[in-house]
Amino acid sequence: MGEQPIFSTRAHVFQIDPNTKKNWVPTSKHAVTVSYFFDSTRNVYRIISLDGSKAIINSTITPNMTFTKTSQKFGQWADSRANTVYGLGFSSESNLAKFAEKFAEFKEAARLAKEKSQEKMELTSTPSQESAPGDLQSPLTSESINGTDEDRVTPDMPDTPDTPQHTEARAEPSQNALPFSHSSSNINKHWEAELAALKGNNAKLTTALLESTANVKQWKQQLAAYQEEAERLHKRVTELECVSGQATVIKSQKTELNQTIEELESSLKAKEEELERLKAEVESANEFQAQKESLAMKLQDTESRNQALEAQLSDLGQRLESSQQEREAFRKSLRSLLELLDSKIFELTELRDTLAKLLESSSS
C-alpha cells in the first residue's frame, strides 16, 4: 500500500537557528499543510510538510521523541536524525491540542511496533548464535537514536533558584564569654547568608532578563515582518479585486488571504501576551533588588550594633579587671591587719602573764 496520510492540519513552520540554538527561523511565509504519514511496509510514522515542491519537514517519529507545548498556540519537538528542532504555530488552541494528541498516539504506536520487531528478531535467533553474557554488546537505545531530553530546546525561562538551607551549629559557651556576644554573632551570620542567597538569585534573574530582552527584540523583528506581509497581502487582495474578473477565484484567494491575516493577528496577540509576561518578570526582579537593598541596610545596622556590644564587652572586661585588682588589694590589707592583730594579742597575753606574776609576788 505504501505511505498514506492519516492526519493533516495547517500551521506556520519554524526551525531552530543552528548557530544560536535559541532563536526560531520561519521556514514558511504562510500557513502550510502538516501531515502524519504511515508506511505500512516498514511500520514507520512520519511528519511531512511541503512548501510548494520543497519539503520543509521530514521527521520520523521515534519512541523517545516528545512534543512540548511552549505556549497556547505553539509547540515543538526535537529530531536528532535531522539535527534540528521543529516548531509549529497554530491558529487555535484546539488545533494544537489535536496535533499533540496525534503525536502521542503515533509515538506509542511506533514504540509498540519497535517492541514487536525486537520480539520477532529474538524468536528467529537460534541457540547457536547465543553468546556468553560478558560478550553481549549493549543494544541501541532510544537515546542513542534520537538524543535525550536535553537535546530539546524549550523557551528561555528564569530558573527557579534553589534556596540554600543554613544550619547553625551550637557551641557550648566558655566560662569567660558573655551570652549576648554569641547571639549578635549568630544574627550577623544569618543576615550575611541571606544576603548571599539574594545576590545569587539577583544574578540569575539578571541573566534571564538579558535573554528575555534578546528574545523580545527578535519577536519585534518577526512581528514587523508579519505586519509587512499583512500589508502586502492586503494590497494583493485589492489588486486582485480590481484586475481579475473571475469572481470565484478572487473569492477563494481572498478567503485564504484573510485566513492568513487572522493567523498573523493571532500570532501577534500571542507575542504581545509574552511581552506582558516579560514585563511582569522585570518588575519582580526590581522587587528582589529592593529587598536586597533593605537587607543590606539591616546588615549594616546589625554590624553597628555588634560593634557597640563589643565596646560594652571591652568596658565590662576592664571593670572586671579593676574590680579584681581592688579585691586583691583589700585581701592584702586584711592579711596585714590580721597579722598586726595577732601580734597585739600576743603582746597582751604576755602583759597579762606578767601582771599575774606581779600580783602573785606582791601577795606573797
Give the model's pLDDT for residue 31.
92
User: What are the boundaries of each domain within the chain?
Assistant: 5-119
Give the model's pLDDT for residue 146.
37
* Alpha carbon distance 55, 13 (integer Å): 11
pLDDT digits over 175-229, tens only?
Answer: 333 444 555 677 778 788 878 888 887 887 887 788 778 778 777 877 877 777 7
Instruction: Determine what percent of the chain is predicted with pLDDT higher than 70.
Output: 78
Give yes or no for residue 78 having a pLDDT over 90.
Answer: yes
Q: Spell 291-329 as b/e; 16+ CB within 10 A means b.
A: ebeebeeebeebeeeeeebeeeeeeeeeeeeeeeeeeee
Domain 5-119 of CATH type 1.10.760.10: no
Least confident of 8-12, 43-47, 79-83, 128-132: 128-132
* Alpha carbon distance 38, 106 (integer Å): 9
pLDDT digits over 93-145, tens only?
Answer: 999 999 999 999 999 998 998 888 788 777 765 444 444 333 333 333 333 33
C-alpha cell at 275: 511581552
* Alpha carbon distance 10, 34 (integer Å): 6
C-alpha cell at 314: 571591652
Give the model's pLDDT for residue 257.
81
Give the model's pLDDT for residue 364.
72
Give the model's pLDDT for residue 209.
82
C-alpha distances in angstroms, 297 versus 202, 206, 303? 17, 22, 10
How open is the CA angle 33-38-40, to the nearest 5 degrees? 155
Give the model's pLDDT for residue 79.
93
Give yes or no for residue 168 having a pLDDT over 90.
Answer: no
* Alpha carbon distance 364, 361 (integer Å): 5
Torsion angles phi and psi, residue 15, rounded to 5? -130, 150
Give the model's pLDDT for residue 250.
53
Give the model's pLDDT for residue 190.
76
Give the model's pLDDT for residue 124.
67
pLDDT digits over 306-319, tens only?
Answer: 999 999 999 999 99
pLDDT digits over 18-74, tens only?
Answer: 888 889 999 988 999 999 999 888 889 999 999 888 899 999 999 999 999 999 999
Give the model's pLDDT for residue 245.
52
pLDDT digits over 324-351, tens only?
Answer: 999 899 999 999 999 999 999 999 999 9
pLDDT digits over 276-317, tens only?
Answer: 899 988 988 888 898 899 899 999 989 999 999 999 999 999
Give the model's pLDDT for residue 184.
66
